[in-house]
Structure 1
Amino acid sequence: MGDQKNLILAMVLSVLILIGWDHFFVKPQAEEQQKAAVVEQTDVIPTSPHAEGGPESPSPRTQPREALINGAPRVAISTPELKGSISLKGARIDDLVLTKYHETVDKTSPNITLFSPAGAAHPYYAEFGWTATGGLALPTKDTVWTADNAQLRPGQPVTLSWDNGQGLTFRLRFAVDENFMFTVTQSVENKAGAPVALNGYGRVARAGLPHGKSYYVLHEGPLGVFNGTLEEVKYKDLVEDGPQQFQTTGGWLGITDKYWLAAMVPDQKLPFTGAFRSFGPDSFQADYLTGAINVAPGAAEAQTIRLFAGAKEVALIDQYEKQYAIPLFDRAIDWGWFYFLTRPIFAVLDWLYNLVGNFGFAIIGLTVIVKAIMFPLANKSYASMNRLRVLQPKMKELQERYKDDKQQQQRAIMELYQKEKVNPLGGCLPIVLQIPVFFALYKVLFVTIEMRHQPFILWIKDLSAPDPLTPVNLFGLLDFTPPPMLAVGVLPIIMGVTMYLQQKLNPQPVDPVQQKVFGLMPIIFTFILAPFAAGLVLYWTVNNLLSILQQWVLLKRHGKQEEEKAQAKAEKRKANKA
């Protein structure tokens, strides 16, 4: 209790080490597992036209994506956000490219490819259909449908149809809005002389693990909401434990990446069985199967499904949740355990961004707001630290007096605290309150696509990525990329300097060993924060600068108060002598 810095340091380091674990240990392990999965992948995985089938796995015989797209009859998809096509063979949505998102911060880099057809290097697609028992002829992946229009666009739906030759006509009506939501109406018309029982199904299937790295603090893989509960399933759990099924009425399911989502929303009035499946180490599927629907002779039955396929934009996800009454659809974005804090922080950042037009300045504004909220508490904290500074000579004297009796030393120091009315832990609370804010901001920068590829000023081109400008390669003059542990950018160095300056304003430990340890902390924190998003380092740096300003003002005020007290005591002694 004699040194509050030990407690502060322990708390801050605990959080940073927990987050840093993802960067230095979990990511490399995940990459190795991903490589192993690619090596172990099978050549061909059997498929079937119903929900129990799996996606075609990539194999050494994969073909170029464009060749596969050009090799089948298709209906073009054209919206402000998407371009692609629906394959008339199998009626699959298996070609989608996001027109406003690029693979890198360079606007000339390729657009993000979401869906690709079976036989490509990384197949990923959605399909809908019917299952039945008995000898009914049903559409399969090889069925060639007939389209009533050559292009699907907002306000211009397309209907695919197929006659099974047994009196049943199957139709799939596709509509799309200006963003990422498809509305699929699948229907069957019975012109036969007997009733038929059919189950509707839909599936999102992918082969090949997501591009990029895996993250400990972020869920990527199958997810859904069943009976009002969010279920997130890891890829490796599906491989090791087998399929997972959920009975529900209402809800949704799909597969998510960090920024992209493919999710089906079945008819919310119908009960269905949702399932997540693995068909090998790198082939996965999310599917649903509705209860049986009886179609009488001369009648027709239909189901309406929504398919979201695109970027997880916060406002858009929220809009769809309300518009289509999709339960907990906003949880498709992994806000984490601090949801109650992460969402408001994003809302403030987004509001500030709309005011200033730059997320870097929005982060600075957020820092000022958080600092203003904690201003009264921080004032008390710094005042307590200043009183500790005044008591340091007396504390050192007690340590020397009782250097051979640590228990008596601690007792004497505590008595000194009580006598002088000083709380040794008074400086801890502002730090403790900053930790959830820090972690929530880390989460916002990490998971929200709004922060992806957002520039600040000068060399900071992406606030969601580490500062790229490092003196290790002479700020890019040397043509090599330093390892992550050495790639310390300019902004983390500035942060370390501000931390050093702030530390100089705090009471210094009496123990020489502790002084040396705390002297190294700005350097250690510089390396710890270097791999983090530049926006997070910016927040920490600005917070340090504001703390330095606040402490300097308090020190100046406190020094003046001490001077006035000393002057009053001197005048009192003069009066007593007189």
Structure 2
Amino acid sequence: MDNKRLFAAIAISIGILLLFDVWQRPAREAQRQAQQQAQQTQTTPVPIPQGNTALNPAGVASTGPSDGAPTTPAPRLRIESPRVQGSVNLRGARLDDLVLRDYRETILPDSPLVRLLAPREDSHPYFAQWGWTASGNVAVPDVNTEWTADAQTLSPGTPVTLRWENGTGQRFEIVLSLDANYMVTAEQRVVNTGTEAVQVLPWARIRRERTPTVAGYYILHEGFVGVLDGRLRETKYADAKSGGERTNGVALDQESPGGWAGFTDKYWLTALAPVDQTQRIRAAYRHVSEGGQDRWQVDFAPPAPLQVAAGATAPFATRLFAGAKEVKLLDSYERGLGIHDFDKAIDFGWFYYITKPFFYALDWLYGLVGNFGIAILIFTLFLKILFFPLANKSYKSMSRMKILAPKMQELKERLKDDPAKMQGEMMALYKAEKINPASGCLPILLQIPVFFALYKVLFVTIEMRQAPFFGWIRDLSAPDPTNLFNLFGLIPFDPPAFFHLPAWALIMGVTMFIQFKLNPAPPDPVQAKLFAFMPIIFTFMLASFPAGLVIYWSWNNLLSVAQQYYIMRHDRAARRSEKAVART
């Protein structure tokens, strides 16, 4: 009974991990190729975009190509801050040039900085824009409108106002301000100096004009994301495209009190949110196909056009987050600005209430030791101490089962023709020796949620991106780059992805082999052979996993071996003492 349960638990664990490996191997290979391409790429000047404006069914401007757009260079408003640099295109009021100063494409020191937003004629156009749609005959700015700015540079603490007048009594203004991180606030105002009331619909949007290469597949969401009407709204690009085909390109149209919505990548986020989180807005996820290209858009607008009386001003204020999904930063925006569930832009997954505390624990330890790899080792030790009483009971039971293995084998051979009696006597033997046959499953079952939660932390949090350990491990979130099949770099040969067997995976395999040797051998020869091959299976399977996860697994195995060895020695000594007392 004990071995069947243990075998089932381990088989389930292997099955889950194998599925993870099958799902993630293409993603990891695509990410590796993207990193190699990025190492060969140098930053180049971005060409000036062109475009015009058409109206989509919701009345929010949708940019498309145009042959009649201006060809002269557009004026630009510089953006300068310690964390970002870029510019706002004053032709069309588009933030379409943004580089993150703290992040590079690869671990190479001269690697290009991460470019998040880019103009329309870039290879991957991606931008935010603010504007109005007319209701009636009032003239509103369009994509070719050239705005005037009252300063040359937008920086933290120095807002800039963009202005444009339509010549019929309405002045349109966009007041842009930037904080010290990644948040832009845009207050759109219509000042009606005319003699009659007008109706206008202000809007803000994020536009993506190429489909990005997603890196996460099944364990990581990339695409549309937001919290609207109190619910997390995630839509993958493929689902938005198929769903939009039935609804004229609208994958989601949601009215909500406050909230936020945008696009999420593995590490980066662009998202819109109303400044007043009690204000009702209408948000939409859209897909259109133009010129054979997929276009993706998230837009915010009031539920109805604004009435602007003569002599009055109509404001509409939104925030734009464009930057790295740093856990503490998103949490600070949630607390300070009231943006509900803003941290859910990070895909912590099913084990959210385990994964996020794990991150904070590791981050706290990192603040003490200055190395995320060391933080993982210390954190694993804390977990071992936390689960010590439970694991101790399990290892004691397993140690006694190993001692009783000869008696159990003798029972099976003697009563092999009477399974019912054999089972009864085995249970009586367990009871007499105070052994719980199911306790051997506990260490593995406890390790599964810890494994997945730590895997998520390593995979989705940008704090782990390009975090070094020691020696050859320069990125804990990436696989160990060494390989046995080229003698760890001594042979100038790059083996195929399947033949990737790095040093840390071999260390993990050895520790697992030692751990399995300390466990009682299954009496079933088939199970015994499978157990013998498990260290090899896990070695190859975890070879392409993030190095930080393999280091965790190896260290956890070593701690388990030490604990189990100590318990076995202590248990043998106690039994010898009991026998000595019994003889006297």
Give yes or no for TM over 0.5.
yes
Note the C-alpha offset of 1:328.
0.8
What is residue 252 of structure 1 aligned with on the other side?
Answer: 260
Compared CA separation, residues 328 and 241, structure 1 to 2 (3 A): same
Q: Which residue of 2 aligns with 1:313?
A: 326
What residue number does 2:39 align with?
none
- Point out the more displaced range, 213-222 or 539-548: 213-222
Alignment gaps of 5+ in structure 2: 33-49, 245-249
From 142, 145, 149, give the equivalent of 1:143. 145
Separation (CA, whole Å) in 2 of partners of 1:155 and 1:46: 33
User: Judging changes above 3 Å, is the alpha-carbon distance between structure 1 residues 449 and 25 closer, same or farther for their aligned structure 2 residues?
Assistant: closer
Q: Name the residue aligned to 2:37.
A: none
**Map of 1:524 onto structure 2:** 537
Q: How does 1:396-415 map to 2 (within 5 A)?
A: 396-415=409-428
Counterpart CA distance in 1 for 2:327 and 2:168 is: 47
Please report how far the alpha carbon of residue 270 of structure 1 lies from its aligned counterpart in structure 2 after TM superposition: 2.4
Following superposition, the deviation at residue 183 of structure 1 comes to 0.8
Q: State the partner residue of 1:36.
A: none
Confirm or deny that 1:287 pairs with 2:299: yes
> Contact (CA 8 Å) 1:56, 1:118: kept in 2 or not?
no
Q: Distance in 1 between matches of 2:55 and 2:164?
A: 15
CA distance in 1, matches of 2:215, 2:490: 28
d(CA) in 2 for partners of 1:211, 1:81: 25
Corresponding position of 1:12: 13
Q: CA deviation at 1:214?
A: 3.9
Alpha-carbon spacing, 1:535–1:55, altered in 2? closer, same or farther (3 Å): farther
Match of 2:281 among 243, 262, 272: 272
Partner of 1:88: 90
Give the C-alpha shift of residue 364 in structure 1.
Answer: 0.3
Deviation digits for residues 25-66 of structure 1 (CA, Å, limit 9, x no counterpart): 6778999xxxxxxxxxxxx99853776444558x9x9xxxxx
Partners of 1:48 and 1:141 within 8 A in 2: no
What does residue range 105-504 of structure 1 map to in structure 2 within 5 Å? 105-211=107-213, 213-242=215-244, 243=250, 244-266=252-274, 267-280=276-289, 282-290=294-302, 291-504=304-517
Amino acid in the other structure paired with 2:298:
A
Letter in 2 for 1:334: D
Aligned CA distance change for structure 1 residues 549 and 481 (closer, same or farther; 3 Å): same
Structure 2: distance between partners of 1:187 and 1:268: 18
The residue that corresponds to 2:45 in the other structure is: none
1:240-283 deviations in whole A, cap 9, x for unaligned?
01121111111111111010000011242321111001113632
Counterpart AA for 1:141: V
Q: State the shift of 1:292 in Å.
A: 2.1
Which of 544, 552, 556 lines up with 1:543 in the alignment? Answer: 556
User: Is the contact between residue 55 and residue 207 of structure 1 (CA under 8 Å) also seen in structure 2?
Assistant: no
3-state secondary structure, aligned to 2:544? coil
User: How far apart, in 1, do the equivalents of 2:448 and 2:436 lie?
Assistant: 21
> Per-residue deviation at 1:14?
3.5
Deviations 1:475-496 (A, max 9, x none): 1233443333221210011000
Question: Which of 94, 103, 106 matches 1:104?
Answer: 106
Q: Counterparts of 1:202 and 1:111 in 2: how far apart (Å)?
A: 27
Cα separation, 2, equivalents of 1:84 and 1:26: 30
Aligned pair in 2 of structure 1 residues 522, 400: CA closer, same or farther (>3 Å)? same
Q: 1:190 to 1:52 in 2, by over 3 A?
A: closer
2:42 corresponds to: none
**Displacement after TM superposition at 1:527 (Å):** 0.9
Q: Distance in 1 between matches of 2:374 and 2:95?
A: 40
**Matching residue of 1:574:** none
CA deviations 1:419-467 (Å, max 9, x no partner) are 3331111122232122111111100111100000000000000000111
Three-state SS of the structure 2 residue aligned to 1:233 is strand
Residue of structure 2 equivalent to 1:39: none
Task: Answer with 409-418 or 333-342: which moved more.
Answer: 409-418
Residues 186 and 303 of structure 1 are in contact (CA less than 8 Å); yes or no, is this contact kept in structure 2? yes
In 1, the alpha carbon distance for the partners of 2:428 and 2:396 equals: 19
Contact 1:388 1:422 in 2 (8 A): yes
* Deviation of the 1:163 alpha carbon: 0.7
Q: 1:104–1:527: structure 2 CA closer, same or farther, 3 Å change rule?
A: same
The CA distance in 1 between the partners of 2:53 and 2:501, in whole Å, is 49
Q: Is the 8 A contact 2:458 2:548 kept in 1?
A: yes
2:96–2:126 CA contact under 8 A, matched in 1: yes
Q: Which residue of 1 aligns with 2:24?
A: 23
Compared CA separation, residues 472 and 447, structure 1 to 2 (3 A)? same
Distance 2:492 2:161 in 1: 54
State, as a whole percentage, how many aligned pairs show the same letter: 48
Structure 2 distance, partners of 1:288, 1:212, is 25
Task: Quickly say closer, same or farther: Cα 1:56–1:391, change in 2 above 3 A.
Answer: farther
Aligned counterpart, 1:65 = none
For 1:100, give the aligned amino acid: D
**1:505 aligned onto 2:496:** no
Taking a change above 3 Å as real, the CA distance of residues 305 and 557 of structure 1, as seen in their structure-2 partners, is same
Q: Which SS does the other structure have where 1:309 is aligned?
A: strand
- 1:138-160 Cα shifts (integer Å, max 9, x gaps): 11111111111111111111111
The count of aligned residue pairs is 550
**Greater mean deviation of Cα atoms: 294-303 or 281-290:** 281-290
Change (3 A) 1:11 1:46: farther
Moved over 6 A (4+): 25-31
For 2:413 and 2:171, locate their aligned partners in 1 and report how far apart those are by CA, in whole Å.
Answer: 95
Secondary structure, aligned partner of 1:455: coil
> Residue deviations 1:518-559, cap 9 Å, x none?
111000001111111111111111110000110111111111
Distance change (3 Å), C-alpha of 1:82 and 1:211: farther
CA contact (8 A) 1:249 1:270 kept: yes
Which runs of 5 or more residues in structure 1 are unaligned?
32-43, 62-67, 572-578
